[in-house]
A and B are shown apart, each in its own frame.
Chain A
Amino acid sequence: DTAVSQTPKYLVTQMGNDKSIKCEQNLGHDTMYWYKQDSKKFLKIMFSYNNKELIINETVPNRFSPKSPDKAHLNLHINSLELGDSAVYFCASSPGVGAVYEQYFGPGTRLTVT
C-alpha cells in the first residue's frame, strides 16, 4: 500500500493554464506539506496543514493555493502557470507538528510548463 501518493506523476502544460496536483496519505497523519524541488535539486517548503488548518505559508506567489478537504488529503492548485513553475512538487506527511516528527514524502509530481 502506498503511504503518500500524488497524482499526476507527470504534468506537462502550457503557460497561462491552471492545474492541480492531488496528494493523499493513508498513514493516519495529522500534518501534510508541499515542497518544491527546483532544477538544481534544492528543496523548499511551500505550505503545511495540520488537521486541515494552514500552519505554514511561505513566500509563495498567490497563484499557488493549497486546499485540505480532510486530514488525509492536501491538494495544490496553480493558476496562470509560468515557465518558472517547472519543478518537482513533493507532498509529505508527518504524525504531528514539530521538530521531532519525520516526514514521509510522496513520489513527487514533475511539472513542466512550456
Chain B
Amino acid sequence: AQKITQTQPGMFVQEKEAVTLDCTYDTSDQSYGLFWYKQPSSGEMIFLIYQGSYDEQNATEGRYSLNFQKARKSANLVISASQLGDSAMYFCANAGGTSYGKLTFGQGTILTVHP
C-alpha cells in the first residue's frame, strides 16, 4: 500500500525566491516512482517532475527539482525563482512497482506567490 503525506496546507513565497514543498511517502514496494503535479485555479493537472526509487541523482526539470531522500522517505519539490504563475495547488504522488501505475496522491499544498 502507498501513502503520501503533504503537511503544508498552504505556503507563501515572494516572487523570484525559492520555495520547498514537503512530501513524505510510505510504501512497501522496493521499486516505486514519485511524481509532482501542479493544479492551477483553472483546474487542469500538469505533470512537473518524476523521480524513480533507484535513481541516484535528484531529478530536475527547469526550475523544478526534486530533493529525494530515500532513507527519510521524503520527496520534496523545490521551485527556484518563483513566478506569479506558480501560484497553484501542488500534489505529490507515488506509484508502487506492483501497482500497475496507480497513483496515490497527497492532500496537496496551495502555493501563493506574492509580487
Interface residues on A, range: 20 to 34
Minimal Cβ-Cβ distance residue in A for B42:
A107
Could you tell me the dominant secondary structure of chain A's interface residues?
strand
Q: Tell me whether A101 and B45 are in contact (CB under 8 A).
A: no
User: Once the chains bind, are B91 and A43 in contact (CB under 8 Å)?
Assistant: yes
Q: Which of A19-27, A67-75, A77-85, A92-100 contacts B (4 or more CB under 8 A)?
A: A92-100
Cα–Cα, bound, A104→B50 (Å): 12
Q: Does B52 lie within 8 Å of A88, measured CB to CB?
A: no
Binds A, one of B11-19, B66-74, B79-87, B96-104: B96-104
Chain B contacts for A100, CB-based, 8 A: 33, 50, 52
**B-side interface mostly:** strand
Q: Please tell me which one of the listed residues A31, A43, A56, A108 contacts residue B43 in the complex, with CB atoms under 8 A apart.
A: A108
- Report the separation of the CA atoms of residues A84 and B4 in the bound assembly, to the nearest whole angstrom: 24
Query: Which residues of the other chain, B, contact A42 by a CB distance below 8 angstroms?
Result: 105, 107-108
Q: How many residues of B contact A (CB 8 A)?
A: 31
Q: A45-B102, A48-B102 are in contact. Are A102 and B47 (CB under 8 A)?
A: yes
Q: What's the least CB distance linking A55 to chain B, in Å?
A: 5
Pick the residue among B89, B94, B103 that contacts A45 (CB under 8 A).
B103
CB of B56 within 8 Å of the partner chain: no
Top 10 A-B pairs, shortest CB-CB distance? A105-B45, A99-B33, A99-B95, A43-B105, A55-B100, A102-B47, A99-B97, A99-B32, A45-B102, A97-B101
List 16 additional A-B contacts (Cβ < 8 Å) besides A41-B39, A41-B107, A107-B43: A33-B103, A42-B105, A42-B107, A43-B93, A45-B103, A50-B100, A58-B102, A92-B45, A97-B101, A98-B33, A99-B32, A101-B33, A101-B101, A103-B47, A105-B46, A105-B47
